Chain A
Amino acid sequence: MSSQKKRNFQMEAFKHRVVVDPKYAEKTWKILEHAIHEIYNHNASGLSFEELYRNAYNMVLHKFGEKLYSGLVSTMTVHLKEIAASVEASQGPLFLEELNRKWMENNKALQMIRDILMYMDRTYIPSTHKTPVHKLGLNLWRDNIIHTINIQTRLKDTLLEIVQKERDGEVINRGLMRNIVKMLMDLGPSVYQQDFEQPFLDVSAKFYRGESQQFIECCDCGEYLKKAEKRLNEEIDRVAHYLDVKSEEKITNVVEKEMIESQMNRLVHMENSGLVNMIVDDKYDDLGRIYNLFRRVPNGLTLIRVVMTSHIRETGKQLVIDPERVKDPAEFVQRLLEERDKHDKIINLAFNNDKAFQNALNSSFEYFINLNPRSIEFISLFVDDKLRKGLKGVTEEDVEVALDKVMMLFRYLQEKDVFEKYYKQHLAKRLLSGKSISEDAERSLILKLKTECGYQFTSKLEGMFTDMKTSQDTMQGFYESMGPMLADGPTLAVHVLTTGSWPTQSTTTCNLPPEILTVCDKFKTYYLGTHNGRRLTWQTNMGSADIKATFSRSQKHELNVSTYQMCVLMLFNNADQLSYKEIEQAVEIPAAELKRCLQSLACAKGKNVLRKEPMSKDVSEDDEFFFNENFSSKFYKVKIGTVVAQKESEPEKQETRQRVEEDRKPQIEAAIVRIMKARRVLDHNNIVAEVTKQLQSRFLPNPVVIKKRVESLIEREFLERDRDDRKLYRYLA
């Protein structure tokens, strides 16, 4: 403080420094004002930055900040008004270019003004809460140029017009558009949104609404989608080139809404070109397009999925109930696999492997495969077919692939335990007749079943393999120890089958020829001698034999026949003619079986080692049979098959069904007890739900059956009904 002030008693405690020249502020401001003019007039080369900065600094330092700031505002406003006039005066297409040019110049000028006024920006402006120089410049530009009546609408219309031109295929100046849009964004997000984005979206919506109407009338579905996709990509491209990134979502929403969502149903169901046609014709490109476009709109994919599901269900249903198809099991399953492959490929190639679509596919297959109860048997037969012959000359990988595919179908089955029954029968036949091609393939399939359904499911199947193996060892041991005593009697091969593991057959005995019987008895003695406490029963209905026969002209053949057939043929060693009655008496084979076996020996062309009188297709009880010494064949080995239905006959089917139902009972009971043991008390509906859940992987238990099982358990005092609430069951330990 100067010493003069001490004499002054007036209380002016915080008086500013005395400025020597009272005109100082005015003079300094004139210099700066002149500089601002020069900057706007592109005449800055003669200006000294150092001097101007120092002058501005001094003005702020000497408390003339307010003068400096207000002077700046008015000087800039004057120049901006001039610029506005020049922009307004520009003609037609030059309007945007003029605006852009002025904007660039203004930016440069603003930067220079900011440079010299930096000290004010740093000190005076924050303490007075004023707008910083750069922001001030932008605000003034907005108010004096962009938001003037003559420019605002013209600018908006010009921009929209150019966008429309580009949509119509004209080439536009994208660089200029980018600069102008960037200017709007620089002026603040609200300026961009109000002056351009919102009108742009409105106009676009109107445009695409019209265009989609036009397209839907004259294009098919695929074509329409191509056009929609093109429009969508154009808009994304537009945003990338000259709009704000944030606009992308908004404009694509408009296109999606107007071009896809509004026409969605019509497109999918379009006659001759809709979704179903695409699926039928495997149009992966079109399907991919429809997926990618519909994915963008709410419920788009759901619609596709619903239509696809109903299509698969419908075609699948026709497939499985078509009586023509049911004739050939292998063909039937092959068609299912093809159907699945087809849709799998569509989902893979066109639907981006979408999980929801895969689930829809699976549930559709599950739905229609189970419509036909014979599907189960057919699938097992298909596997049987593959493992018998189908895999010849096929690499191991291909076997795996084929089996994997079958497993897919297996997964769709609801009654997996029925499949187990069939599979067991078919496997037994394969093993006993030595028809199985590859043990590796067999084992691999069983492993797959095991991973799918658990140990329990396959334990018996595995037991069958073990039996086969032990039988081999047993036979080896038998011949080693008994070999010499057997002399040149017939060679015997016995499969010792564990009861329970194999499909049980009612034991039908027959009278074996004495030669065979001797060997069999020796084996029995040997086996029971090595294994204590076992019982052997001969399953003659499952055996086979190779016998050598000599016909006239010393024609020798080896005949491959079933055990029954062997018994019959052996009778003709001692006689040339036998009546049906005599044969029946001698062999004691059940009549149905005997007839079948005689039929195959006497009636099959090329295999008729017997002759029958009278000659007819069927065997009756009055027939006479003769040794056909004129039998001849090109082959030395002749296989005489039994006439067997490969598919199950109706009564067999019933029987299988009944056996399955029987087997289910203990499983359901076990599940109930397991659940009740854990829960102690549970009501009926919950028991049904939980049992169903537990057994789902094997079969779908019938609620009525569950109820019966519960009742049976109550009878046997595993459970009791609650005394107060009859719907509640209690577990009795």
Chain B
Amino acid sequence: MAIQKDRVRFNVGGKIFETTGTTLAIAGRESYFAAMFDENWDLQMNPAGEYFIDRNPDCFSILLDLLRTGELYIPPNVPEKQLYREALFYGLTDHVRSAKWGQFDGNRLQPLKSITGRAPGDGTAIRASPDGGCCVAHGSMVHIYDWMLEEHPPVNLDYQRVNDAGWVGSGDPTGLVISTCERVGRGQGGMGLFNSTTGELRYKFSVTHKGVVKSYTAGALCFNDGYNLFSSCKGRSNEYGIGVWDQNTGQQVDFFYEPPGWSLGDADKLQWLNGSNCLLVATLFPRKDNCYISLLDFRSKSTVWSWSDMWSPANSDDRRVRDAIAMEENNSICVVNEFEDLGFMDLRRESGSVRWSSRSRLMKGKMPDEPCYPKLALHEGQLFSSMNDCISVFCGSDWVLTSRLRRNFGGSICDFSIGGDRLFALHSEENVFDIWETPPSSIV
């Protein structure tokens, strides 16, 4: 067995490399090298005592260096894509990925690059995938990018308008759910689960009302750990509310009908709360004239908490809520208004009032011509809020502004998403999206 001698000579595409078995062992069991030195193989060296591999020597050199040092250095003359391809061949993609960017920290983010899409702007949504890729929904198309930011075949939805998209998660890294508008007269629309690498439709999620399958418009999406998928649904007649499906079978398992005088089927935002086993449903301006935020308990089919600006005075800040997010650890719901003021409500009190923090009043009066409504995101104790062309990061129990992310082109940010240790921001005007990542922590 060659590995015991420890010194190993490779001839890669004509170039000689010499390394040790110890270095190669770092590649791990799921790599080319582990398979190659499996004791069952009676390996043949060429007369010069080298193992031949018919691959690109430049990339091999970079990857060998990665195994030796744990650091990834890509010289300018090697295209990244080529390196990734070679890493995939040797089974070293995990090594490359973890050497390329570090664990997510909102205060240490660096812009990686900006990607210009094909569509004319007006993106609907951008969603980060768990492995560092993303998908961008425009009109009736969803463009998919993997972690190498390579574009995959887009999902074309037969020209139905896309409302939201979402990644099924770690159990199925290629599963992408897309919700679309109903197309009148054809009984189509609703939601489907697609394979993100091939773009194939795996199955559709249907809504059944009193034993009859109905066509419907699917809105905001949300997933939980129990392999359930939630979506706001708007049917023709009674099918207004929140539908629940099993991600693995595609079967509808539950439906929460919209109570009269309230809004669920039009919701902009769904958020599953693990601690309390509840679903946050928020319908916001301008989808509706009023804003409705509620927490639903599906086990008892009840609304356990709710708030609406219907009861607030006409000109108060409460009337301008544009996004909401539940923060379970703080037992509160954070809302944002059109001036990017943050407001907080206590989840433990029924229908409390919003406590506004007046941090950004200076924004008032100099609104851009075509404003994008602010959006909120929460990631491991850090709160993110987008407004116009920049994203603010808030930390700590008092939600202090700690960082701002801004690029100089693309116009206002219409959506952003965090996942796979990356942040993706989609600009509305020029159909550009930015990727931000945390640099790997330095070794020295």
Q: At the interface with chain A, which of B36-44, B235-243, B422-430?
A: B36-44
How far is it, in angstroms, between the C-alpha of A14 and the C-alpha of B152 when the chains are bound? 10
A44 touches B41 (CB 8 A): yes
B residues 142-175 near A (Cβ < 8 Å) are 153, 172-174
User: How far, in whole Å, are A115 and B91 apart by their CA atoms in the complex?
Assistant: 12
The verdict on A45 contacting chain B, using a C-beta distance below 8 Å, is yes
Of listed A53, A112, A118, A119, residue having the most chain B CB within 10 A: A118
| Residue among A14, A44, A50, A119 having the largest count of chain B Cβ atoms under 10 Å | A50
Cβ–Cβ contact B30 & A122, under 8 A: yes
Question: Are A108 and B40 interface neighbours, CB within 8 A?
Answer: yes
In the complex, the chain B residue whose C-beta lies closest to that of A108 is B40
Which residues on B sit within 8 Å (CB–CB) of A127? 174, 195, 197-198
**B88 CB within 8 Å of chain A:** yes
Query: Which segment of B47-55, B58-66, B313-321, B324-332 sits at the interface?
Result: B47-55
Chain A residues positioned under 8 Å from B30 (CB to CB): 118, 122
Q: Does any Cβ of B come within 8 Å of A116's Cβ? A: yes
Question: Hey, which chain A residues are within 8 Å of B399, CB to CB?
Answer: none
Instruction: Give A118-137 as 1s and 0s: 1 = Cβ < 8 Å from B's Cβ atoms.
Output: 11001100110100000000
B89 at interface (Cβ–Cβ under 8 A)?
yes
B25 at the interface (CB under 8 A from A): no
How many chain B residues touch the partner (CB < 8 A)? 25
Shortest distance between the CB of B10 and any CB in chain A (Å): 10
A48→B54 CA distance, assembly (Å): 12
Q: A111: CB under 8 A from chain B?
A: yes
Cβ of A141 to closest chain B Cβ, rounded Å: 17
Q: Is there contact, CB below 8 Å, between B174 and A50?
A: no
Q: Quick check: A45 and B174 within 8 Å, CB to CB?
A: no
The residues of A that contact B153 with a CB separation of less than 8 Å are 13-14
Residues from chain B with a CB closer than 8 A to the CB of A108 are 40
> Is the pair B41, A112 in contact by a Cβ cutoff of 8 Å?
yes
Minimum distance in angstroms from B90 CB to a CB of chain A: 9
How far is B39's CA from A49's CA once the two chains are assembled, in angstroms? 12
Which residues of chain B are within 8 angstroms of A57 by Cβ–Cβ distance?
A: 89
Contacts of B310 in A (CB 8 A): none
Residues of B within 8 A of A115 (CB): 35-36, 38, 40-41
Docked complex Cα distance between A116 and B88 (Å):
14
In the complex, how many angstroms separate the beta carbon of A137 from the nearest chain B beta carbon? 14
Q: Say whether chain A's binding surface is mostly helix, strand, loop, or mixed.
A: helix
Q: Which residue of A lies closest to B54 (CB)?
A: A54
Q: How far is the CB of A640 from chain B (nearest CB, A)?
A: 91
Q: Give the chain B neighbours of A111 by CB distance below 8 A.
A: 38, 40
Q: Which of B304-350 contact A (CB under 8 A)?
A: none
User: Chain A 39-60 against B: per-residue CB contact (8 Å), 1 yes, 0 no?
Assistant: 0000011011110011001000
- Contact among B32, B38, B44, B89 with A48 in the assembled complex (CB-CB below 8 Å): B44
Is A118 a contact of B195 with CB atoms below 8 Å? no
CA distance A49 to B38 in the complex (A): 10
Q: Name which of B36, B41, B199 has the most chain A CB atoms within 10 A of its CB.
A: B41
Chain B nearest CB from A552 CB (Å) reads 109
Query: Which of these, A47, A50, A126, contacts B51 with CB under 8 Å?
Result: A50
Shortest beta-carbon distance from B14 to chain A in Å: 14
A53 and B385 alpha carbons, distance in the complex (Å): 48
Check A123–B88 contact: CB distance below 8 A. Answer: yes
The CA of A566 and the CA of B14, in the complex, are separated in Å by 131
Please give me the residue from chain B that is nearest to A54 by CB atom: B54
B51 neighbours in A (Cβ, 8 Å): 50
Contact of B36 among A14, A50, A126 (CB under 8 A): A50
Cβ-closest chain B residue relative to A127: B197
Question: How many Å lie between the Cα of A108 and that of B88 in the bound state?
Answer: 25
Docked CA distance A119–B173 (Å): 17
Distance in Å from the Cβ of A32 to the closest Cβ of chain B? Answer: 14
Complexed CA–CA distance, A277 and B184 (Å): 91
CA distance A246 to B19 in the complex (A): 45
Residues from chain B with Cβ under 8 Å of A123 in the complex: 88
Chain A, interface residues (CB within 8 Å), range: 20 to 34
Q: How far, in angstroms, from A84 to B199 measured CA to CA in the complex?
A: 41
B32 touching A112, Cβ below 8 Å: no
Structural contact, A50 and B52, CB atoms closer than 8 A: yes
Inter-chain contacts of B42 with A (CB < 8 A): 44-45, 47
Least CB separation from B41: chain A residue: A49
CB distance from B53 to the nearest CB of A (A): 6
Minimum distance in angstroms from B370 CB to a CB of chain A:
32
Contact A126:B174 (CB < 8 A) given known A44-B40, A54-B54: yes
Q: How far is the CB of A569 from chain B (nearest CB, A)?
A: 96
Docked pose: A108 CA to B91 CA in angstroms: 21
CA distance A44 to B199 in the complex (A): 39
Q: Are B38 and A50 in contact (CB under 8 A)?
A: no
**Shortest Cβ distance from residue A428 to the other chain B in the assembled complex, whole angstroms:** 71
Q: Which residues of B contact A14 (CB under 8 A)?
A: 153, 199
Closest residue of chain A to B51 (Cβ to Cβ) is A50
Smallest CB gap from B202: residue in A: A129
- B89 x A49 contact (CB < 8 A): no
Q: How many angstroms from the CA of A112 to the CA of B387 in the assembled complex?
A: 56
B41 to chain A minimum Cβ distance, whole angstroms, is 5
Question: Which residues 213-240 of A sit at the B interface, judged by CB distance below 8 A?
Answer: none
Bound CA span A115–B32, Å: 8
CA distance A556 to B41 in the complex (A): 119
Q: How far is the CA of A114 from the CA of B153 in the complex (A)?
A: 29
Whether the Cβ atoms of B54 and A118 lie closer than 8 Å is no
**What's the nearest-Cβ distance from chain A to residue B30, in Å?**
7
Please report the C-alpha to C-alpha distance between residue A612 and residue B161 in the assembled complex, in whole angstroms: 136
CA distance in complex: A54, B32 (Å): 10
Given the complex of chains A and B, what is the CA–CA distance between A57 and B89 in angstroms? 8
CA distance A114 to B30 in the complex (A): 10
Determine whether the beta carbon of B91 is less than 8 Å from that of A118.
Answer: yes
Which of B35, B40, B173, B198 has a CB less than 8 Å from the CB of A53? B35
What's the minimum C-beta distance from A203 to chain B, rounded to whole angstroms?
38
Q: How far is the CA of A174 from the CA of B44 in the complex (A)?
A: 39
Residue in contact with A118 in the complex, picked from B32, B44, B197, CB distance below 8 Å: B32
A118 near B198 with CB under 8 A, answer no
A112 to chain B, nearest CB (A): 5
Rounded to whole angstroms, the CA-CA distance of A13 and B154 in the bound complex is: 10
Which chain A residues in 23-75 approach chain B with CB under 8 Å?
44-45, 47-50, 53-54, 57
Q: Quick one: which of A45, A112, A122, A129 contacts B38, CB cutoff 8 A?
A: A112
A118 near B174: Cβ-Cβ < 8 Å: no
Contacts of A112 in B (CB 8 A): 38, 40-41
B327 smallest CB distance to A (angstroms): 34
Minimum CB–CB distance for B46 against chain A, Å: 11
The interface bits of chain B over 276-293 (1 if a CB of A lies within 8 angstroms of the residue's CB, else 0) are 000000000000000000
**Cα distance A50–B40 when bound, in Å?**
14
Determine the distance from Cα of A119 to Cα of B35 in the docked complex, in whole angstroms: 11
| Contact (Cβ within 8 A) A118 B88 | no
Cα–Cα distance between A49 and B41 once the two chains are bound (Å):
7
Within the assembled complex, what's the spacing in Å between the Cα atoms of A463 and B35?
A: 91
Point out the residues of chain B lying under 8 angstroms from A116, CB to CB: 35
CB distance from B168 to the nearest CB of A (A): 12
Output the least CB separation between B12 and chain A (Å): 11
In the assembled complex, the Cα of A112 lies from the Cα of B172 at a distance in Å of 27
CA separation between A119 and B54, bound complex, in Å? 15
Q: How far does the alpha carbon of A54 sit from the alpha carbon of B173 in the complex, in Å?
A: 26
CA A116 to CA B195, docked complex, whole Å: 26
Docked pose: A126 CA to B198 CA in angstroms: 12
Q: Once the chains are docked, how many angstroms separate the CA of A45 from the CA of B41?
A: 7
- A–B pairs, 15, beta carbons within 8 Å: A13-B153, A44-B40, A44-B41, A49-B35, A49-B43, A50-B36, A53-B36, A112-B41, A115-B36, A115-B41, A118-B30, A118-B35, A119-B91, A126-B174, A127-B197
Spell out A's residues near B (CB within 8 Å).
Answer: 13-14, 44-45, 47-50, 53-54, 57, 108, 111-112, 114-116, 118-119, 122-123, 126-127, 129
- The 3 A-B pairs with the shortest beta carbon distances in the complex, nearest first, are A115-B35, A45-B42, A127-B197
Given A50-B53, A50-B54, 18 extra CB contacts under 8 A? A47-B42, A49-B35, A49-B43, A50-B36, A57-B89, A112-B38, A112-B40, A112-B41, A114-B35, A115-B35, A115-B38, A115-B40, A118-B30, A118-B35, A119-B88, A123-B88, A127-B197, A129-B172
